[in-house]
Amino acid sequence: MKKIRKYKWFWAWQDEKEEAWLSEMAKQGLHLESLPFPGIYEFRKGDPGDYIYRLDFQSLQGKDRESYLQLFDDAGWEHIGDMGGWVYFRHLVNGSEIPDIYSDLESKIGKYQRILVALAIFLPIMIFLTHDSEGVTRFGSWFIIVELLQAILYLLWAFAMVRLFLRINTLKKKNNESS
Amino acid sequence: MAQTSTDKHLPLTEATFYILLALVTPKHGYAVMQEAEEVSQGTIQLAPGTIYGALSSLEKSKLITMVGTEGRRKIYQVTELGKHVLRDQIHRYQIMLENSVNESDLWAANTTEEGVS
Protein backbone atom coordinates (compact mmCIF):
# COMPACT_ATOMS: atom_id res chain seq x y z
CA MET A 1 0.00 0.00 0.00
CA LYS A 2 1.27 3.40 -0.97
CA LYS A 3 2.24 5.84 1.76
CA ILE A 4 2.34 9.54 1.19
CA ARG A 5 4.19 11.91 3.47
CA LYS A 6 3.19 15.54 3.91
CA TYR A 7 4.90 18.33 5.79
CA LYS A 8 2.62 20.89 7.34
CA TRP A 9 2.73 22.96 10.48
CA PHE A 10 -0.22 23.88 12.69
CA TRP A 11 0.10 25.92 15.87
CA ALA A 12 -1.60 24.95 19.13
CA TRP A 13 -4.55 27.28 18.47
CA GLN A 14 -5.17 25.94 14.95
CA ASP A 15 -6.67 22.58 15.87
CA GLU A 16 -9.90 23.23 13.96
CA LYS A 17 -7.94 24.25 10.87
CA GLU A 18 -5.94 21.02 11.15
CA GLU A 19 -9.14 18.95 11.49
CA ALA A 20 -10.56 20.59 8.36
CA TRP A 21 -7.34 19.96 6.46
CA LEU A 22 -7.34 16.25 7.39
CA SER A 23 -10.98 15.92 6.27
CA GLU A 24 -10.05 17.62 2.99
CA MET A 25 -7.19 15.12 2.50
CA ALA A 26 -9.64 12.24 3.11
CA LYS A 27 -11.93 13.61 0.40
CA GLN A 28 -8.93 13.30 -1.96
CA GLY A 29 -8.35 9.69 -0.86
CA LEU A 30 -5.52 10.44 1.57
CA HIS A 31 -6.25 8.89 4.96
CA LEU A 32 -4.09 9.78 7.94
CA GLU A 33 -2.10 6.73 8.99
CA SER A 34 0.52 7.95 11.44
CA LEU A 35 2.22 10.99 12.94
CA PRO A 36 5.93 10.19 13.02
CA PHE A 37 7.14 13.67 14.06
CA PRO A 38 5.65 17.12 14.74
CA GLY A 39 4.76 18.63 11.37
CA ILE A 40 4.97 15.32 9.50
CA TYR A 41 1.83 13.44 8.44
CA GLU A 42 1.77 10.02 6.81
CA PHE A 43 -1.24 9.15 4.68
CA ARG A 44 -2.44 5.93 3.13
CA LYS A 45 -3.75 6.29 -0.42
CA GLY A 46 -7.22 4.85 -0.83
CA ASP A 47 -10.72 5.67 -1.98
CA PRO A 48 -11.99 9.18 -1.29
CA GLY A 49 -14.13 9.24 1.86
CA ASP A 50 -16.23 11.60 3.92
CA TYR A 51 -14.53 11.62 7.31
CA ILE A 52 -14.67 13.97 10.25
CA TYR A 53 -11.37 14.38 12.05
CA ARG A 54 -11.19 15.50 15.66
CA LEU A 55 -8.21 16.34 17.85
CA ASP A 56 -8.56 15.93 21.58
CA PHE A 57 -5.93 16.95 24.11
CA GLN A 58 -5.23 14.55 26.96
CA SER A 59 -2.32 13.43 29.10
CA LEU A 60 -3.79 10.13 30.30
CA GLN A 61 -1.68 7.14 31.26
CA GLY A 62 -2.18 3.42 31.70
CA LYS A 63 -5.69 2.19 32.47
CA ASP A 64 -7.20 5.69 32.25
CA ARG A 65 -5.91 6.02 28.71
CA GLU A 66 -7.13 2.52 27.79
CA SER A 67 -10.66 3.16 29.03
CA TYR A 68 -10.66 6.57 27.34
CA LEU A 69 -9.69 5.10 23.95
CA GLN A 70 -12.16 2.23 24.41
CA LEU A 71 -15.01 4.68 25.03
CA PHE A 72 -14.20 6.55 21.81
CA ASP A 73 -13.93 3.24 19.96
CA ASP A 74 -17.34 2.14 21.32
CA ALA A 75 -18.81 5.44 20.11
CA GLY A 76 -17.50 4.87 16.59
CA TRP A 77 -14.33 6.98 16.69
CA GLU A 78 -11.18 5.45 15.23
CA HIS A 79 -7.99 6.36 17.10
CA ILE A 80 -5.21 7.12 14.62
CA GLY A 81 -2.33 8.32 16.76
CA ASP A 82 -0.91 10.86 19.18
CA MET A 83 1.45 13.78 18.97
CA GLY A 84 2.58 15.83 21.95
CA GLY A 85 -0.63 15.43 23.96
CA TRP A 86 -2.91 15.65 20.92
CA VAL A 87 -5.05 12.59 20.26
CA TYR A 88 -6.22 12.11 16.66
CA PHE A 89 -9.61 10.54 15.93
CA ARG A 90 -11.74 10.11 12.83
CA HIS A 91 -15.37 9.18 12.26
CA LEU A 92 -17.14 8.27 9.04
CA VAL A 93 -19.92 10.70 8.13
CA ASN A 94 -23.28 9.01 7.56
CA GLY A 95 -26.00 11.27 6.21
CA SER A 96 -26.39 14.83 7.40
CA GLU A 97 -25.42 14.37 11.04
CA ILE A 98 -21.90 15.62 11.81
CA PRO A 99 -20.46 13.66 14.73
CA ASP A 100 -18.36 15.40 17.36
CA ILE A 101 -16.27 14.37 20.36
CA TYR A 102 -17.76 17.09 22.59
CA SER A 103 -21.49 17.64 22.91
CA ASP A 104 -21.43 20.74 25.09
CA LEU A 105 -19.37 23.91 25.33
CA GLU A 106 -18.31 23.27 28.91
CA SER A 107 -16.37 20.11 28.05
CA LYS A 108 -14.94 21.78 24.94
CA ILE A 109 -13.67 24.62 27.13
CA GLY A 110 -12.06 21.94 29.32
CA LYS A 111 -9.98 20.77 26.34
CA TYR A 112 -8.55 24.25 25.71
CA GLN A 113 -7.88 24.71 29.42
CA ARG A 114 -5.82 21.49 29.40
CA ILE A 115 -3.77 22.80 26.47
CA LEU A 116 -3.22 26.10 28.25
CA VAL A 117 -2.10 24.34 31.44
CA ALA A 118 0.32 22.15 29.44
CA LEU A 119 1.86 25.23 27.80
CA ALA A 120 2.09 26.98 31.18
CA ILE A 121 3.87 23.98 32.75
CA PHE A 122 6.40 23.56 29.93
CA LEU A 123 7.41 27.22 29.72
CA PRO A 124 9.55 27.26 32.93
CA ILE A 125 11.02 23.86 31.98
CA MET A 126 12.07 25.26 28.63
CA ILE A 127 13.57 28.37 30.21
CA PHE A 128 15.41 26.19 32.72
CA LEU A 129 16.87 24.02 29.95
CA THR A 130 18.19 26.98 28.00
CA HIS A 131 19.52 29.11 30.87
CA ASP A 132 21.94 28.45 33.73
CA SER A 133 21.36 29.46 37.35
CA GLU A 134 22.52 33.06 36.82
CA GLY A 135 19.96 33.55 34.10
CA VAL A 136 22.64 33.67 31.40
CA THR A 137 21.87 31.61 28.31
CA ARG A 138 23.80 28.37 28.15
CA PHE A 139 24.89 29.11 24.61
CA GLY A 140 26.84 32.25 25.47
CA SER A 141 25.74 35.76 24.67
CA TRP A 142 27.84 36.06 21.47
CA PHE A 143 25.63 33.46 19.86
CA ILE A 144 23.16 36.04 18.64
CA ILE A 145 21.26 33.67 16.31
CA VAL A 146 20.40 31.30 19.16
CA GLU A 147 19.34 34.26 21.27
CA LEU A 148 17.10 35.48 18.52
CA LEU A 149 15.54 32.04 17.94
CA GLN A 150 14.89 31.76 21.65
CA ALA A 151 13.19 35.13 21.74
CA ILE A 152 10.99 34.11 18.81
CA LEU A 153 10.15 30.83 20.53
CA TYR A 154 9.09 32.62 23.74
CA LEU A 155 7.02 35.11 21.78
CA LEU A 156 5.25 32.30 19.93
CA TRP A 157 4.70 30.50 23.21
CA ALA A 158 3.16 33.60 24.76
CA PHE A 159 1.12 34.20 21.60
CA ALA A 160 -0.23 30.63 21.72
CA MET A 161 -1.27 31.11 25.34
CA VAL A 162 -3.01 34.39 24.56
CA ARG A 163 -4.82 32.83 21.57
CA LEU A 164 -6.00 29.90 23.70
CA PHE A 165 -7.04 32.23 26.50
CA LEU A 166 -9.14 34.26 24.07
CA ARG A 167 -10.67 31.09 22.61
CA ILE A 168 -11.68 29.93 26.09
CA ASN A 169 -13.22 33.34 26.81
CA THR A 170 -15.22 33.31 23.57
CA LEU A 171 -16.53 29.82 24.33
CA LYS A 172 -17.40 30.82 27.90
CA LYS A 173 -19.36 33.82 26.64
CA LYS A 174 -21.21 31.59 24.19
CA ASN A 175 -21.90 29.14 26.99
CA ASN A 176 -23.35 31.85 29.24
CA GLU A 177 -25.58 33.12 26.46
CA SER A 178 -26.99 29.68 25.73
CA SER A 179 -27.62 28.65 29.34
CA MET B 1 -34.22 25.00 52.40
CA ALA B 2 -31.93 23.49 55.01
CA GLN B 3 -28.24 23.32 54.13
CA THR B 4 -27.41 19.72 53.35
CA SER B 5 -24.40 17.96 51.93
CA THR B 6 -26.12 17.63 48.54
CA ASP B 7 -26.71 21.36 48.04
CA LYS B 8 -23.32 22.13 46.51
CA HIS B 9 -24.02 19.57 43.77
CA LEU B 10 -27.41 21.04 42.89
CA PRO B 11 -28.95 21.84 40.52
CA LEU B 12 -27.63 19.15 38.20
CA THR B 13 -27.37 19.90 34.52
CA GLU B 14 -29.74 17.88 32.39
CA ALA B 15 -26.86 15.78 31.07
CA THR B 16 -25.48 15.06 34.55
CA PHE B 17 -28.95 14.11 35.75
CA TYR B 18 -29.29 11.47 33.03
CA ILE B 19 -25.74 10.19 33.62
CA LEU B 20 -26.42 9.67 37.34
CA LEU B 21 -29.81 8.14 36.60
CA ALA B 22 -28.24 5.66 34.18
CA LEU B 23 -25.65 4.72 36.81
CA VAL B 24 -28.23 3.60 39.38
CA THR B 25 -27.28 0.25 37.85
CA PRO B 26 -23.57 -0.33 37.01
CA LYS B 27 -22.56 0.64 33.48
CA HIS B 28 -19.57 1.55 31.34
CA GLY B 29 -19.32 4.90 29.55
CA TYR B 30 -20.81 3.91 26.21
CA ALA B 31 -23.78 2.19 27.89
CA VAL B 32 -24.39 5.44 29.80
CA MET B 33 -24.40 7.35 26.48
CA GLN B 34 -26.96 4.98 24.98
CA GLU B 35 -29.18 4.86 28.07
CA ALA B 36 -29.18 8.66 28.46
CA GLU B 37 -30.21 9.11 24.84
CA GLU B 38 -32.93 6.47 25.10
CA VAL B 39 -34.61 7.50 28.37
CA SER B 40 -34.37 11.23 27.51
CA GLN B 41 -36.23 10.38 24.27
CA GLY B 42 -33.32 11.65 22.20
CA THR B 43 -33.12 15.08 23.87
CA ILE B 44 -29.74 14.27 25.44
CA GLN B 45 -26.98 13.18 23.08
CA LEU B 46 -23.61 12.84 24.72
CA ALA B 47 -20.35 12.73 22.80
CA PRO B 48 -17.51 10.52 24.12
CA GLY B 49 -15.18 13.38 25.13
CA THR B 50 -17.96 15.00 27.10
CA ILE B 51 -19.02 11.82 28.86
CA TYR B 52 -15.42 10.89 29.67
CA GLY B 53 -14.89 14.27 31.35
CA ALA B 54 -18.25 14.07 33.13
CA LEU B 55 -17.52 10.60 34.54
CA SER B 56 -14.07 11.71 35.74
CA SER B 57 -15.43 14.76 37.52
CA LEU B 58 -18.38 12.85 39.04
CA GLU B 59 -15.90 10.29 40.33
CA LYS B 60 -13.73 13.07 41.78
CA SER B 61 -16.72 14.59 43.59
CA LYS B 62 -17.61 11.09 44.82
CA LEU B 63 -21.09 10.96 43.27
CA ILE B 64 -20.09 7.83 41.36
CA THR B 65 -17.45 5.18 41.92
CA MET B 66 -15.71 2.55 39.81
CA VAL B 67 -17.11 -0.87 40.66
CA GLY B 68 -15.28 -3.03 38.12
CA THR B 69 -14.00 -3.42 34.60
CA GLU B 70 -15.15 -5.05 31.39
CA GLY B 71 -12.13 -5.50 29.18
CA ARG B 72 -10.61 -2.03 28.94
CA ARG B 73 -13.89 -0.38 29.99
CA LYS B 74 -14.44 1.03 33.47
CA ILE B 75 -17.75 0.22 35.12
CA TYR B 76 -19.24 2.95 37.31
CA GLN B 77 -22.16 3.13 39.72
CA VAL B 78 -23.72 5.92 41.83
CA THR B 79 -22.56 6.19 45.44
CA GLU B 80 -24.87 6.82 48.43
CA LEU B 81 -24.05 10.53 48.09
CA GLY B 82 -24.90 10.31 44.38
CA LYS B 83 -28.26 8.75 45.20
CA HIS B 84 -29.03 11.51 47.69
CA VAL B 85 -28.15 14.14 45.10
CA LEU B 86 -30.41 12.40 42.56
CA ARG B 87 -33.24 12.21 45.09
CA ASP B 88 -32.96 15.90 45.94
CA GLN B 89 -32.80 16.84 42.25
CA ILE B 90 -35.92 14.77 41.59
CA HIS B 91 -37.59 16.61 44.47
CA ARG B 92 -36.72 19.91 42.75
CA TYR B 93 -38.22 18.64 39.52
CA GLN B 94 -41.41 17.69 41.38
CA ILE B 95 -41.72 21.22 42.74
CA MET B 96 -41.21 22.58 39.23
CA LEU B 97 -43.84 20.20 37.90
CA GLU B 98 -46.33 21.28 40.59
CA ASN B 99 -45.77 24.87 39.53
CA SER B 100 -46.29 24.04 35.89
CA VAL B 101 -49.53 24.67 34.07
CA ASN B 102 -50.91 23.07 30.97
CA GLU B 103 -49.75 24.57 27.70
CA SER B 104 -53.28 25.74 26.91
CA ASP B 105 -53.55 27.53 30.29
CA LEU B 106 -50.52 29.64 29.37
CA TRP B 107 -52.39 31.36 26.56
CA ALA B 108 -55.65 31.42 28.49
CA ALA B 109 -53.94 33.45 31.26
CA ASN B 110 -52.76 36.01 28.70
CA THR B 111 -56.24 37.04 27.63
CA THR B 112 -57.52 37.78 31.15
CA GLU B 113 -54.49 39.83 32.14
CA GLU B 114 -54.64 43.58 31.62
CA GLY B 115 -52.17 45.24 29.33
CA VAL B 116 -51.63 42.13 27.29
CA SER B 117 -53.09 42.15 23.86
State whether residue B5 is helix, strand or coil: coil
Do A43 and A112 fall into the same domain? Answer: no
Give me the pLDDT at residue B1, please: 46
H or E segment at B97?
A: helix B80-98
Among residues A92, A127, A145, the one where a domain terminates is A92
> Within this chain, do residues A88 and A133 fall inside the same structural domain, yes or no?
no
Asked if residue A59 and residue A20 are part of one domain, the reply reads yes
Q: Are residues A15 and A78 in the same domain?
A: yes
Residue A98 falls within a domain, yes or no? no
Residue A97 lies in a domain: no
Mind listing the domains of chain B with CATH numbers? 9-112 (1.10.10.10)
Q: Can you give the pTM of this predicted structure?
A: 0.87
Which member of B15, B54, B73 has the closest CB to residue A70?
B73
Of A71, A92, A113, the residue at which a domain comes to its end is A92
Compute the average pLDDT of residues B40-68: 96
- The verdict on a CB contact (< 8 Å) between B54 and A56 is no
pLDDT digits (tens, 9 = 90+) for A146-163: 778 888 888 898 999 999
> What is the residue-averaged pLDDT of chain B?
89
This model of the complex carries an ipTM of 0.87
Long-range contacts of B43-47 (CB under 8 A, 24+ apart): B43/B14, B44/B14, B44/B15, B44/B18, B45/A103, B46/A103, B46/B15, B46/B19, B47/A75, B47/A99, B47/A100, B47/A101, B47/A102, B47/A103, B47/A107
**Distance, CA of A110 to CA of B51 (rounded, Å):** 12
- Residue A50 domain-assigned (yes or no): yes
- A125 with A66, same domain? no
Q: What confidence category does residue B2 fall into, taking pLDDT thresholds of 50, 70 and 90? A: very low
For residue A100, is it within any domain? no
Asked if A69's CB is within 8 angstroms of B52's CB, the reply is no
pLDDT value, residue A164? 95
Ranges of chain A with pLDDT below 70: 1, 130-143, 179
Gap from A172 CA to chain B (nearest CA, Å): 16
Last residue of a domain, one of A60, A92, A124: A92
Which of A67, A68, A103 shows the shortest C-beta gap to B47?
A: A103
Domain range for A85 is: 3-92
Burial class of residue A135, CB neighbours in 10 A (0-12, 13-18, 19+): exposed
- Work out the pLDDT band at B104, boundaries 50, 70, 90: confident
Say yes or no: B115 contacts chain A, CB-CB below 8 A.
no
How many structural domains compose chain A?
2
Residues facing A45 on adjacent strands: A30
- Is A137 in the same domain as A162? yes
**Mean pLDDT value across residues B15-28:** 96
pLDDT score, position A145: 78
Between chains, do B49 and A69 touch, taking CB under 8 Å as contact? Answer: no
Mean pLDDT of B53-63: 96
Interface contact B47-A102, CB threshold 8 A: yes
For chain A, say whether B100 makes contact (Cβ under 8 Å).
Answer: no
Q: Which chain A positions have a beta carbon within 8 Å of B75's beta carbon?
A: none
Among B52, B55, B64, most A C-beta atoms within 10 A, so best to mutate, is B52
